[in-house]
Amino acid sequence: MTEHAVVIAGGGPTGLMLGGELALAGVDVAIVERRSNQDVAGSRAGGLHSRTLEVFDQRGIADRFLAEGKKAQAIGFAGVHFDLSGFPTRHPYSLGLRQNHIERILAGWVDELKVPIYRGIDVTGFAQDDTGVDVELSNGRSLRAQYLVGCDGGRSLVRKAAGIAFPGSDPTISNLIAEAQLAETPPEWGIRRDALGIHALGRVEYEIRNGEIVYADHGPVGVLVTEQHVGQTAEPTLSDLSAALITVYGTDYGIHSPTSISRFTDVARQAASYRKGRALIAGDAAHVHPPDGGQGLQTGVQDAVNLGWKLAQVVKGTSPDSLLDTYHAERHPIGARVLRNTMASIVLRREDERTKALRDTIAELLGMDEPRRRFAAMMSGLDIRYDVGEGHALLGRRMPDLDLVTVNGTLRLYAFLHDARPLLLNFGESGGFDITPWADRVQSIDVKYGGVWELPVVGAVPAPTAVLIRPDGYVAWAGERTRLGLADALATWFGSPTA
Ligand SMILES: Cc1cc2nc3c(=O)[nH]c(=O)nc-3n(C[C@H](O)[C@H](O)[C@H](O)COP(=O)(O)OP(=O)(O)OC[C@H]3O[C@@H](n4cnc5c(N)ncnc54)[C@H](O)[C@@H]3O)c2cc1C
């Protein structure tokens, strides 16, 4: 039987990111993927938000996405658009880039890291024992691993086979999303709202000019249409699409030659636990919700970045298995928050007078500075704070990508995170910290920084004299002229000191 330290079921955005993270940490990981190639059927994510771009920057791969995507201010809530321009991040915008391109770029990175992907194969079941997991495959073979991670999407086999409950709300709305040709040009492009819900017609090809989306004047058309009835389970067809268009627009504009048709609903469910013994779940396998705000892929990629280094340390024996419980503790509340804001967004889409009044009221609130900044930071993922204890405002928050003065010149902080290793930055007297008992795991660097310390929403924070940064870019400890608590933080997050 072939063995790997970790087997990942599913090579979508979450599985690919996790594969990359584990490979960077030197873990023997393999991905089992149902699709025979990385093509994405149907229309899915349309871009990346600020924190996901930062996460890619931490690994030195953001430029690959930036080279292909289009920057835009694309974050919003309840019909209110937010401009991130003043936010303290190198990426105060979203990047328009379709999921098929995002996956292709991620797969290229994972390939460079030499992660094997068993393609065209399903994980069909698994059994775990005290020392590992036997993973059954659709080709009749099996793999042995210390841990199995289900990144296998909303219908996750790993989640179901692990017996993890998936509570939440059944769908109330059903949408068709498609790309096709229209024989007739509609009198108006763009979004239409009615009692049924939201609908949209627009050319697939577009440009962003002066921050505005400008659609091409020919070529395939992207269609979003709300269906009259919920609960269809069969794969959607061209005649379903035509019927839905006729219901809403009175005509189907001669729709033909679809290249994709898919259905999505406002179902919102979250796994009760992200872990059952040696089986873990991440991404859509752990949470499904409406696509409002474009948060699904971002949340999955960030789940993977939270889990990757922890799983690597457990597999290598650096940290106890209990470190994996912090993955659920930190990421479940983030997923729950995404469910909450997407469910609220669905309700606010209704077109009755009372809902319109509520939407207008919320829009008025979001016109105010503080609520607008808070929502923009939430929707872009820049405000995430994990509970790593009380103290300095940086604790548990993302480390800003500062320009650091080092012995090798000025370098961006994120450059030190490219290989996904923990990092102690000493801004004080050089040689001020001796972390020899962790030196095999934690990089320690003396740097200088004379600029302001500013966090999204929080604003200016006092300059620390040292910070301990986890491989996912979150601050595990910050000291102001003290080393109090540093040894505890090192042991908690990066294992016992070596003698
Ligand atoms: C219409 C629509 C629009 C969206 N827009 C956005 C957006 O703008 N922004 C955003 O962030 N998100 C968006 N999303 C959500 C986003 O597409 C998902 O959240 C994202 O794809 C989740 O990634 P994942 O890797 O967790 O799961 P998936 O992308 O579902 O990948 C799961 C992978 O597992 C494989 N697989 C499944 N079962 C098995 C098995 N048993 N064995 C082996 N392989 C298996 C599948 O083939 C697939 O490759 C949208 C979704 C929809 C439907």
pLDDT at residue 446 in the model: 94
What is residue 85's three-state secondary structure? coil
pLDDT at residue 231 in the model: 84
Question: Tokens standing for 321?
Answer: 């298995």
Digit-coded pLDDT (tens) for 459-496: 999 999 999 999 999 999 999 888 889 999 999 999 99
342 vs 191 pLDDT, higher one: 342
Q: Rounded to whole angstroms, how far apart are CA atoms 200 and 7?
A: 40
**365 class by beta-carbon count within 10 Å (0-12 exposed, 13-18 middle, 19+ buried):** middle
Cα–Cα nearest to 441, from 495, 484, 499: 495
Atom of ligand 1 nearest to the CA of 32: 43
Confirm if 284 and 296 have CB atoms less than 8 A apart. Answer: yes
DSSP string, 163-209: T----EE--S-EEEEEEEE-SS--S--EEEE-SS-EEEEEES-EEEE
151 CA → ligand 1 middle, Å? 9
Of 97-111, 196-210, 240-254, which gets the smallest average pLDDT? 196-210
1 vs 177 pLDDT, higher one: 177
Digit-coded pLDDT (tens) for 202-240: 998 877 777 677 778 788 999 999 999 998 888 899 999
pLDDT at residue 54 in the model: 98
Query: Beta 466-469 vs 423-426: how paired, if at all?
Result: antiparallel
Q: For ligand 1, atom 53, which residue shows the shortest CA distance?
A: 44
pLDDT at residue 432 greater than cutoff 90:
no
Please state the φ and ψ torsions of residue 328, each to the nearest 5 degrees.
-65, -45
Q: Rounded to whole angstroms, how far apart are CA atoms 285 and 124?
A: 15
pLDDT at residue 194 in the model: 87
pLDDT at residue 458 greater than cutoff 70:
yes
pLDDT at residue 206 in the model: 76
Q: Rounded to whole angstroms, how far apart are CA atoms 273 and 203?
A: 41
pLDDT at residue 211 in the model: 66
Atom of ligand 1 nearest to the CA of 224: 1
Average pLDDT for 294-322: 97
**What Å distances lie between residue 77 and 44, 308, 341, 365, CA to CA?**
19, 31, 8, 11
Average pLDDT for 433-455: 94
pLDDT at residue 210 in the model: 72
pLDDT at residue 277 in the model: 97
How far, rounded to the nearest angstrom, does the alpha carbon of residue 115 sit from its chain's CA centroid?
20
How far, rounded to the nearest angstrom, does the alpha carbon of residue 372 sit from its chain's CA centroid?
22
Chain position carrying tokens 């600020």: 50
296 CA → ligand 1 middle, Å? 8
Average pLDDT for 15-43: 95
Compute the mean pLDDT over every residue in the chain, rounded to the nearest whole number.
95
Helix residue spans in 73-125 (DSSP H):
99-112
Average pLDDT for 242-255: 96
Q: What letters, b where the CB count within 10 A reaches 16 and e where it falls short, cover 151-167? A: bbbbebbbbebbebebe
Helix (H) or strand (E) run with residue 228 in it: none
- Residues at CB less than 6 angstroms from ligand 1: 9-15, 32-35, 43-47, 99, 122-123, 151-153, 157, 177, 264, 283-284, 291, 294-298, 300
62 CA → ligand 1 middle, Å? 20
Its sign, for the CA torsion 110, 112, 114, 117, is positive
Confidence of residue 284 (pLDDT cuts 50, 70, 90): very high
Confirm if 331 and 14 have CB atoms less than 8 A apart. Answer: no
Q: Rounded to whole angstroms, how far apart are CA atoms 424 and 466?
A: 7
Cα–Cα nearest to 167, from 287, 342, 304: 287
Of 39-43, 212-216, 264-268, which gets the smallest average pLDDT? 212-216
pTM of the model: 0.95
Q: Rounded to whole angstroms, how far apart are CA atoms 380 and 289?
A: 17
Percent of the chain at pLDDT above 70?
100
pLDDT at residue 334 in the model: 98
95 CA → ligand 1 middle, Å? 18
Identify which of 31, 39, 44 to mutate to test ligand 1's pocket (most ligand atoms within 8 A of the CB).
44
Q: Rounded to whole angstroms, how far apart are CA atoms 95 and 49?
A: 6
pLDDT at residue 429 in the model: 86
Digit-coded pLDDT (tens) for 29-39: 999 999 999 99
Q: For ligand 1, atom 2, which residue shows the shortest CA distance?
A: 44
Confidence of residue 83 (pLDDT cuts 50, 70, 90): very high
93 CA → ligand 1 middle, Å? 23
Query: Beta 403-406 vs 409-412: how paired, if at all?
Result: antiparallel
Average pLDDT for 60-88: 94
Task: List Cβ<8 Å contacts ≥24 apart for 317-325.
Answer: 318/441, 318/494, 318/495, 319/493, 319/494, 319/495, 323/493, 324/275, 324/280, 325/275
Written as one letter, the residue type at 374 is R
Helix (H) or strand (E) run with residue 498 in it: none
Q: For ligand 1, atom 3, which residue shows the shortest CA distance?
A: 44
43 CA → ligand 1 middle, Å? 11
12 CA → ligand 1 middle, Å? 6
pLDDT at residue 370 greater than cutoff 90:
yes
Its sign, for the CA torsion 91, 95, 101, 103, is positive
Helix (H) or strand (E) run with residue 325 in it: helix 325-348
* Calculated CA dihedral for residues 158, 160, 163, 169, nearest 10 degrees: 130
Cα–Cα nearest to 386, from 327, 345, 428: 327
pLDDT at residue 208 in the model: 73
A 10 A CB-CB count for 138 gives 13
